[in-house]
Amino acid sequence: MRQTRFLRLVVAAVGSSFIVVVVHGSTLHIPLTTSKSRWSAAAASASSSSSPKTSATTILVSDTVTTNPNDSVAPSALTVMADESEGESAQKSTDSGGNPLAQLIGYAKDSFVRTIDGTKEMWTNHGRCKEIRAKQQDYREKLKKRWEFEEKDLTPKEMKERLAKVNGGITYDEFVFLIKGKEDRGKLMNLGFLMWGAPRFFPYALMFYPEILPSPFAPLPDTSTKETKLQKLSRERSHAVLRTLIAIENEAKAVPALAKLNFFGKKGQARRMDEMDSLGKTIGQIMTTSGIESGADGAKVVMNTMENLLYKKGEDFTRAEKRLVTVPKSIATGIMNAVSGPNLFQTVMPHFLRRGQVLNHLQKLAEIDNFLVNENIDLNGLSTARLLEACSDRMIGGPGRTDEELRQDLNVWLELAVNQPTQRIGQSGEYFNENLARTALLSFYLVCGAGDSRSTSYLPRLMYQGRQEDDMAAAEGRKKSRKR
Alpha helices in 165-294 (DSSP H): 172-197, 202-208, 229-253, 257-261, 266-287
- Name 311's bridge partners: 432
The pLDDT assigned to 471 comes to 55
- Name 31's bridge partners: 18
Q: State the greatest distance between any 2 C-alpha atoms of the chain, in Å, as a whole number.
A: 101
CB 73 within 8 A of CB 62: no
The pLDDT assigned to 480 comes to 60
- Name 11's bridge partners: 21
DSSP secondary structure string, 267-296?
HHHHHHHHHHHHHHHHHHHHHT-TT--SHH
Measured distance CA(334)–CA(449) in Å, rounded: 14
Weakly modelled stretches of the chain, pLDDT under 70: 1-98, 222-224, 287-295, 461, 464-484
Which is nearest to 309 in space by CA: 317, 320, 301? Answer: 317
The pLDDT assigned to 474 comes to 57
The pLDDT assigned to 348 comes to 77
CA 430 to chain centre: 35
Measured distance CA(157)–CA(103) in Å, rounded: 62
The pLDDT assigned to 13 comes to 36
Q: Which residues, at least 6 apart from 65, have a Cβ–Cβ distance to it below 8 Å?
A: 4, 5, 6, 40, 42, 44
- Element (H or E) spanning 119, and its range? helix 100-150
Look up the pTM and report it.
Answer: 0.71
